[in-house]
Chain A
Amino acid sequence: MSPFDVELDTSGLNCPLPVLKARKALSEMTAGQRLHLIVTDVGANQDIPAFSKMTGNPLIESNEQDGKLHFILEKGAA
């Protein structure tokens, strides 16, 4: 896993809460900082890349570990 600045664990939460909580976390970060997002909702495999694309917060890394999805999102400049 790449280094990150903030960790957000949404384990057990279902759509759309992981996206809503990711938005809130990113809004409190500065451009270039990285968010490690942990999700158990399998829909996140599609939703987080869509969120990343639409909000201009690049998805640096994504993988699955111990039945959980891990994403590294970088806070965009906008």
Chain B
Amino acid sequence: MAKKLAIIASKGTLDSAYPPFLLASTAIALGFEVKIFFTFYGLQLLNKELNLKVSPLGNPAMPMPVNIPSIIQIIPGIEWFATWMMKRKLKQKGVASLEQLRDICIETGVELIACQMTVDLFDFKNEDFIEGISRGGAATFLEFAGEADVTLYI
């Protein structure tokens, strides 16, 4: 009987998008059955075009080349710069892109479930999302999570 990994992906920033896809793809490689339930801002991870950002604002642990006071971080260009810097660093260090990890998840059979309630809440359209995802609610997740060996809320 294969081990099972159940993940709730609830965040939509670039940094928070990595753990669900990274752990899911690795778990499949280790022989797990994996389901990811995308809710609230995590639904952004299912968009055809991933346009995720990372912000140093409210995130004092984010390493920056120079210390930027919070009052300055509200300037729009700072977020763009931090995102550009993070993406460049990920590439330099040979870390897979999110698109790459997500494609591996889809190819290897990770079940991607969009939370129906939050899809309705934010008026998201079917055509915004990638193909092959399923829909479900709290009970759908708990049915699988109840039998899972590992359950993560990210």
Q: With CB as the reference atom, state the residue of chain A lying closest to B100.
A: A17
* B29:A51 contact, CB within 8 angstroms: yes
Q: What are 27 A-B residue pairs whose CB atoms fall within 8 Å in the complex? A: A12-B94, A13-B94, A13-B96, A14-B94, A14-B95, A14-B96, A15-B22, A16-B22, A16-B29, A17-B94, A17-B95, A19-B26, A19-B29, A20-B25, A20-B26, A20-B96, A20-B104, A23-B28, A23-B29, A40-B94, A50-B30, A51-B29, A54-B30, A54-B31, A55-B29, A55-B30, A55-B31
Residues of A1-26 contacting chain B, CB below 8 A: 12-17, 19-20, 22-23
Residues in chain B within 8 A of chain A (CB atoms):
22, 25-26, 28-31, 93-96, 104
Kindly list 17 other residue pairs between chains A and B, CB separation below 8 angstroms, not including A22-B29, A54-B31, A55-B29.
A13-B94, A13-B96, A14-B93, A14-B96, A15-B22, A15-B95, A16-B22, A16-B29, A16-B96, A17-B95, A19-B29, A20-B25, A20-B96, A23-B29, A40-B94, A54-B30, A55-B31
Q: With CB as the reference atom, state the residue of chain A lying closest to B22.
A: A16
Q: Given the complex of chains A and B, what is the CA–CA distance between A12 and B90 in angstroms?
A: 12
Q: With CB as the reference atom, state the residue of chain A lying closest to B93.
A: A14
B25 contacts across to A, CB distance below 8 A: 16, 20
A40 contacts across to B, CB distance below 8 A: 94
Q: Tell me, rounded to whole Å, the shortest Cβ–Cβ distance linking B106 to chain A.
A: 13
Interface size class of A (residues with CB under 8 A): 10 to 19
Residues in chain A within 8 A of chain B (CB atoms):
12-17, 19-20, 22-23, 40-41, 50-51, 54-55
Q: Given the complex of chains A and B, what is the CA–CA distance between A14 and B90 in angstroms?
A: 9
Query: Which residue from A14, A15, A51 sits with its C-beta under 8 Å from B30?
Result: A51
Q: Given the complex of chains A and B, what is the CA–CA distance between A13 and B101 in angstroms?
A: 13
